[in-house]
Amino acid sequence: MTLCTVLTIGSGVNYACTSIIVTKGASADGSVMVTYNCDGVFHPILRYTPAADYPPGDSLEIKDWSGNLRGKIAQVEHTYSVVRLINEHQLVIGETTVDGRQELQNPDALLHYWDLMQLALKRATTAREAIAVITDLVNTYGYRSTGESISIADTEEAWLLEIIGPGPGEDGAVWVAMKIPDGYICAHANKARIREFPLDDPENCIYSDNVISLAIEKGYYHPASGEPFNFQEAYCPTTPRNQRYADARVWSVYRRAAASLNLSADYHRAVEGAEPYPLWVKPDQKLSLSDLFDLNRDHYEGTDFDMRVGIDAGPYGSPNRWRPICWEQDGEEYVWERPISTQQTGFSIVTQSRSWLPDPIGGVLWYGVDDTYTTCYVPLYCSINDLPFPYTVGRLNKFTWESAWWVFNFVANYANLKYSYMIQDIQTVQNELEGMMIQAQPEVDKAALKFYESNPDSMITYLTGYSVKQGEMVVKTWRELGEFLIQKYNDGYVQDDEFRSHKEGYPEQWLREVIKSRPEQFKLPEKDEETPESNLID
């Protein structure tokens, strides 16, 4: 599948995501953290699944997104509660679709990757258990999706699992999982990242029995070449297009978190001989929660690929580029940059798994909807049993102020009218709210610990109430922000604090480009003494 095809099929939900994994030793507070941007044309619904018990021999129906039954699997006797992508044991799972060898997809198998993620969260307590759950399930019921890179983290460890099918009608899957070394971070974005891996280090690397043999059978790998086996090149071969689309985002994470490495842009621009980016890097400084928010908000700012710069950014420096991402002009193919932060994001998360706190308090999923650059993350503790209402309602084909996604989407879209101005107002509110919630976290944890020691049920009630209140407060504030932006930037003017409208006009450089394109059309005629000057003033 080509880059252009990937961005135009179906809803795009499972074709355009970015994930960052941060180990304990690489985080400022000692938590294991995962980010996940789920990008595509869809309206997300935040879901909570309570823990449950089932009788021996029970089964679970597996349905598609339209509710159609695909098959059944054996149910386990107990499942854990899940809030979106974190469970009650602080286990977190995220993903990015890599496609890889599409001829290896098995459309007759039962389990898609999203089935596997949810099943692992309901059935596992640690990252290693989650890998075992996923790989056991595909061995039993088959793997239905194309290639996937899956982030899996608990309070102690973080892993990257990469998996692909064995081909139509074939059982099981092909996979490899590597533990991210403590003190390091890893990024992946729609391309397999594991290249060479150790065959004799089960503490840090595990893999399917067929990972090499299938590649040999299919002609993807030739041992006689003398080259070591490379999972990425066997199952998701590097091309100039996936370098541009996927590796550019990995580079942008690493160039910000580990600037001292001075990683070149050459590889993601497919310069011949350029070295691939490392699977993991050690950040120059340990990363905080707010650092992860910032890494999620990236348009290659400050680089040669800065999307706020150039005539393509419009007069007000918008980093957004409308789809299709690829187009043809006069027989040549062109493509916009693909950033980490995009207007097509449905939802994104930044998680904390904190080993020094009891599970109900230690696990926090910070949740945002729509574009990461203009969203506001809210904390959802992993033990809560209810959700902020605005995040649980809405649909793509009907606007409603009740829906958090529509509220954030409205603000983000309105900002495109005068982006360089409005983004400052948005970020002021964003920084204030996120800063307030981050600053409040130690006190919330402390209060929850007191409940935990005396009355665990009261602790869950407290954390649920806090999480719900923050979510509802943020959405209410964002509605008010949208109303403020309409008032302040009405009809292209900019109102000051005294409600006086000012004509700010267009940036000089953009006006030069306009004049250059049609120099005579916009030239003002020489002054006519008989024509009042007021006729040229609006």
Encode pLDDT of 442-475 as tens digits. Answer: 999 999 999 999 999 999 999 999 999 999 999 9
Can you tell me the distance from the alpha carbon of 166 to that of 99, in angstroms, rounded to the nearest whole number?
A: 13
Q: Are residues 12 and 146 in the same domain?
A: yes
- Neighbouring C-beta atoms of residue 483, cutoff 10 Å: 12
Q: Would residue 43 count as lying in a domain?
A: yes
pLDDT on residue 482: 98
List the one residue out of 39, 49, 207, 206 whose CA is nearest residue 121. 49
Can you tell me the distance from the alpha carbon of 24 to that of 283, in angstroms, rounded to the nearest whole number?
A: 12
- Residue 1 reports pLDDT greater than 50: no
- Neighbouring C-beta atoms of residue 45, cutoff 10 Å: 16
Lowest-pLDDT range of 168-177, 211-220, 279-288, 495-504: 495-504
Is 359 or 533 the better-scoring residue by pLDDT?
359
Q: Would residue 33 count as lying in a domain?
A: yes
Q: Are residues 381 and 307 in the same domain?
A: no
Please, what is the average pLDDT of the chain?
94
Over residues 239-267, the mean pLDDT reads 98
Lowest-pLDDT range of 58-62, 65-69, 89-93, 259-263: 65-69
Q: Are residues 111 and 209 in the same domain?
A: yes
Q: Are residues 425 and 475 in the same domain?
A: yes
pTM to 2 decimal places: 0.95
Q: Tokens in use for 17?
A: 């995501």
Question: Which residues are 105's β-sheet partners?
Answer: none
- Residue 6 reports pLDDT greater than 80: no
Q: Would residue 261 count as lying in a domain?
A: yes
Structural domains counted in the chain: 2
pLDDT on residue 105: 98
Over residues 289-315, the mean pLDDT reads 97
pLDDT on residue 4: 46
Q: How far is CA 240 from CA 105, 153, 197, 270, in A?
A: 23, 31, 23, 5
Encode pLDDT of 397-417 as tens digits. Answer: 999 999 999 999 999 999 999
Over residues 57-84, the mean pLDDT reads 96
Can you tell me the distance from the alpha carbon of 205 to that of 197, in angstroms, rounded to the nearest whole number?
A: 7
Amino acid at 239: T
Q: Would residue 534 count as lying in a domain?
A: no
Q: Are residues 168 and 235 in the same domain?
A: yes
- Residue 347 reports pLDDT greater than 90: yes
Among 270, 303, 335, give the residue marking a domain's end.
Answer: 335
- Residue 298 reports pLDDT greater than 50: yes
H-state helical runs in 91-184: 113-123, 127-141
pLDDT on residue 525: 87
Q: Are residues 243 and 326 in the same domain?
A: yes
Output the CA angle 454-455-459, nearest 5 degrees. 115
Q: At what angle do helices 289-296 and 419-454 cross, to 10 degrees?
A: 140
Q: Would residue 327 count as lying in a domain?
A: yes
Q: pLDDT-based confidence at 65, cuts 50/70/90? A: confident
Over residues 219-228, the mean pLDDT reads 97
- Residue 484 reports pLDDT greater than 50: yes
Over residues 234-259, the mean pLDDT reads 97
Q: Would residue 352 count as lying in a domain?
A: no
Among 459, 477, 495, give the residue marking a domain's end.
Answer: 495
Q: Are residues 306 and 373 in the same domain?
A: no
Over residues 45-62, the mean pLDDT reads 98
- The whole domain housing 485 covers 357-495
Encode pLDDT of 148-204 as tens digits. Answer: 999 999 999 999 999 999 999 999 999 999 999 999 999 999 999 999 999 999 999
Encode pLDDT of 500-528 as tens digits. Answer: 999 999 999 999 999 999 999 999 888 76
- Residue 10 reports pLDDT greater than 50: no
Encode pLDDT of 87-111 as tens digits. Answer: 999 999 999 999 999 999 999 999 9
Share of the chain above pLDDT 90, in %: 93
Q: Are residues 370 and 326 in the same domain?
A: no
- Residue 12 reports pLDDT greater than 50: no
pLDDT on residue 9: 32
Q: Are residues 324 and 175 in the same domain?
A: yes
pLDDT on residue 532: 60
List the one residue out of 388, 387, 382, 372 whose CA is nearest residue 339. 372
Q: pLDDT-based confidence at 371, cuts 50/70/90? A: very high
Q: Tokens in use for 40?
A: 């595509």
Q: pLDDT-based confidence at 378, cuts 50/70/90? A: very high
Q: Are residues 283 and 369 in the same domain?
A: no
Q: Would residue 51 count as lying in a domain?
A: yes
- Residue 121 reports pLDDT greater than 60: yes
pLDDT on residue 526: 85
Can you tell me the distance from the alpha carbon of 91 to that of 32, in angstroms, rounded to the nearest whole number?
A: 10
At residue 13, the 3 state secondary structure works out as coil
Q: Are residues 125 and 186 in the same domain?
A: yes
Q: Would residue 532 count as lying in a domain?
A: no
Can you tell me the distance from the alpha carbon of 98 to that of 3, in angstroms, rounded to the nearest whole number?
A: 11
Q: Are residues 470 and 407 in the same domain?
A: yes
Among 335, 366, 386, give the residue marking a domain's end.
Answer: 335
Q: Would strands 205-207 and 494-495 be described as parallel, antiparallel, or unpaired?
A: unpaired
Q: pLDDT-based confidence at 11, cuts 50/70/90? A: very low
